[in-house]
């Protein structure tokens, strides 16, 4: 631990005062390292598709354009890589807005069941393409959650998108929810909460990587993530939205295989069930 201290003194009539200012240099260095790593990661992520675009444009100029089949193939790759660049930039922009508190979370009483149903309907075609079975296991009469409908929908769609991506064809994906009494969750907690989980029968995540997958650009298998069209930012966005709601998110192993992501949200106190919507910064 490195500590820097400076002393500021002053005298006011009979009163003398001194202020000691401590700066924890270790923390400053850690933050600076995070910032540098982030810039390096962003540059790397953007460079990969750009290098590919440049390479194929050069190949076209080198004579590839004279052959219609080659042109069509190369132009298709260029289009896909440009889409990828766009996706990375969109995710980055969104993450930076959320992190800097520019995204205001709506706070209104929500039925989680409705959000789950709508998101599952949206993801069904994608799951169908890989022959996955999408199962919903939501009991009726769950308490309301005080939150932002659109953002919580995004949390679910990011988790479902990953479950679909990281599960080989013909898998099974289950979205479940349960009411947790105070102190009744493995994550502890003294207040009442709601747990929503997305479980898949996919490739799973090694235990040592589990806490880290919520970091920006952290991937268990970089090549596989890129091949699947991932930006490495989906779970970082999920974590920010969930924590902005005063909740927690974590991942466990699913039995017999795959992963189970759990989102735990505080429930709407029953005496405020008819409260008015409000906006709070993330
Ligand atoms: P990506 O765009 O790479 O999918 P995410 O932030 O959404 O980025 O996820 C980070 C990493 O966590 C992924 O690259 C993958 O290694 C792992 N991961 C996320 N969801 C799952 C899942 N359902 N099954 C297995 N691995 C997963």
Residue 168 vs residues 136, 173, 201, 226: alpha-carbon distances, Å: 20, 11, 8, 16
Contacts of 255 (CB under 8 A, 6+ apart): none
- 280 within 8 A of 211, measured Cβ to Cβ: no
Rounded to whole angstroms, the Cα distance separating 195 from 179 reads 6
Which atom of ligand 1 is closest in space to residue 163's alpha carbon?
Answer: 23
Q: Residue 33 corresponds to which tokens in the numbers above?
A: 């390292």
Cα–Cα distance measured from residue 245 to residue 107, given in angstroms and rounded to the nearest whole number: 9
**If residue 134 lies in a helix (H) or strand (E), which one and from where to where?**
strand 133-137
pLDDT tens figures, 217-257:
999 988 888 888 888 999 999 999 999 999 999 999 999 99
Ligand 1 centroid distance, CA of 219 (Å): 6
pLDDT in tens, 4-51: 555 555 555 555 677 777 767 788 888 888 788 888 888 988 998 999
- Average pLDDT, integer, range 78-88: 93
Q: What is the mean pLDDT of residues 79-89?
A: 93
Residues 231 and 217: their CA atoms lie apart, in Å, by 7
Strand order in the sheet with 248-253: 133-137, 172-180, 193-200, 259-266, 248-253
ipTM: 0.99
Of 39, 40, 52, residue with least CA distance to 85: 52
Distance CA 173, CA 135 (A): 6
Taking the centre of ligand 1 as the mean of its atom positions, its distance from the CA of residue 280, in whole angstroms, is 29
d(CA 40, CA 168): 32
Tell me the average pLDDT of the chain: 87
pLDDT category at 272 given cuts 50, 70, 90 is low
d(CA 197, CA 88): 26
Query: Is 132 within 8 Å of 94 (Cβ atoms)?
Result: no
pLDDT digits (tens, 9 = 90+) for 176-191: 999 998 766 555 556 8
**Ligand 1 geometric centre to CA of 32 (Å):** 26
For atom 25 of ligand 1, the residue with the nearest CA is: 204
139, pLDDT greater than 70: yes
Q: Among residues of the chain, what percentage have pLDDT more than 70?
A: 86
Higher pLDDT, 68 or 11: 68
Distance CA 137, CA 141 (A): 13
pLDDT of residue 13: 52
Q: Which two tokens stand for residue 166?
A: 């990281």
CA of residue 107 to ligand 1 center, whole Å: 28
Residues flanking ligand 1, CB < 6 Å: 162-163, 166, 200, 202-205, 213, 219-221, 225, 230-236, 259
Q: Is the separation of the CB atoms in 205 and 213 below 8 Å?
A: yes
């Amino acid at each position: 631990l490195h500590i820097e201290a400076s002393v500021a003194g002053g005298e006011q009539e009979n009163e003398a005062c001194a202020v000691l200012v401590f700066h924890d240099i270790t923390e400053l260095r850690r933050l600076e390292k995070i910032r540098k790593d982030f810039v390096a990661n962003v540059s790397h992520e953007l460079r990969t598709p750009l290098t590919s675009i440049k390479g194929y444009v050069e190949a076209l100029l080198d004579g590839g354009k004279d052959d219609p089949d080659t042109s069509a193939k190369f132009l298709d790759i260029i289009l896909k890589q440009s889409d990828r660049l766009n996706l990375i930039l969109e995710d980055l922009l969104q993450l930076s807005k959320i992190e800097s508190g520019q995204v205001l979370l709506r706070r209104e009483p929500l039925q989680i069941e409705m959000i789950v149903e709508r998101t599952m309907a949206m993801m069904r075609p994608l799951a169908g393409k890989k022959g996955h079975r999408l199962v919903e296991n939501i009991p009726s009469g769950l308490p309301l959650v005080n939150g932002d409908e659109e953002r919580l929908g995004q949390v679910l769609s990011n988790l479902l998108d990953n479950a679909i991506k990281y599960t080989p064809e013909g898998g099974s994906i289950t979205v479940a929810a349960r009411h947790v009494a105070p102190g009744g969750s493995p994550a502890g907690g003294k207040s009442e909460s709601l747990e929503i989980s997305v479980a898949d029968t996919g490739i799973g995540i090694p235990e040592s990587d589990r806490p880290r997958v919520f970091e920006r650009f952290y991937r268990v298998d970089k090549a596989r993530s890129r091949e699947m069209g991932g930006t490495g930012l989906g779970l970082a966005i999920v974590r920010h939205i969930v924590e902005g709601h005063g909740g927690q998110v974590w991942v466990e192993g699913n039995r017999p295989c795959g992963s189970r992501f759990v989102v735990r949200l505080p429930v709407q106190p029953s005496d405020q069930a008819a409260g008015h919507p409000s906006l709070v910064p993330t």
